[in-house]
Amino acid sequence: MTTPPEPPATTLDWDAILAWRPRLADADADLGGWRGGTPTDAGAITLPHVVLGDDAAGFLQELYDQQVVAPFDWSDWLQVRGRRLLEQDRELAAATLEECRRLLAALARSDRFVEGTFLGALADGTIQRILRRVGELREPPPSR
């Protein structure tokens, strides 16, 4: 089975993605949190798990709907280039639209393997910083 090619980042509806910025930045945004880890009446402890709130779940669905999350070798990419983009502000400040798209996709996909990754990236501002860079790349250059 062949993997379909990812659509170019420049063809995606970034306006639909960027429309989430104010909502995600709002202090009252419903991001969700960890649930479980509590004893039952029988003495067992429920398994802790993440429950995304309405805003976080809606944004994640938008990433899939707009094909931001597309097949690519996100795991290997995230270990090298993606890590530099996430850990070094100057690298993210120079990121391309495709790199921003890959960061968002990698955070969404990695949450399936390390639960809480996506929620953590929303809560600590990582996703907002990526969206800020996307906004910069989408703005028309200043006129001279």
pLDDT in tens, 81-119: 999 999 999 999 999 999 999 999 999 999 889 999 999
Angstrom distance (rounded) from CA 127 to CA 121: 6
**Rounded Cα–Cα distance for residues 40 and 33 (Å):** 20
Q: What was the pLDDT predicted at 1?
A: 54
pLDDT exceeds 80 at position 15: yes
> Given a cut of 90, is residue 63 above it in pLDDT?
yes
Task: Write the CB contacts of 39 (distance below 8 Å, at least 6 apart in sequence).
Answer: 45, 46
Record the pTM. Answer: 0.86
At 17-28, the pLDDT tens digits run: 999 999 999 999
Percent of the chain with pLDDT strictly greater than 90: 67
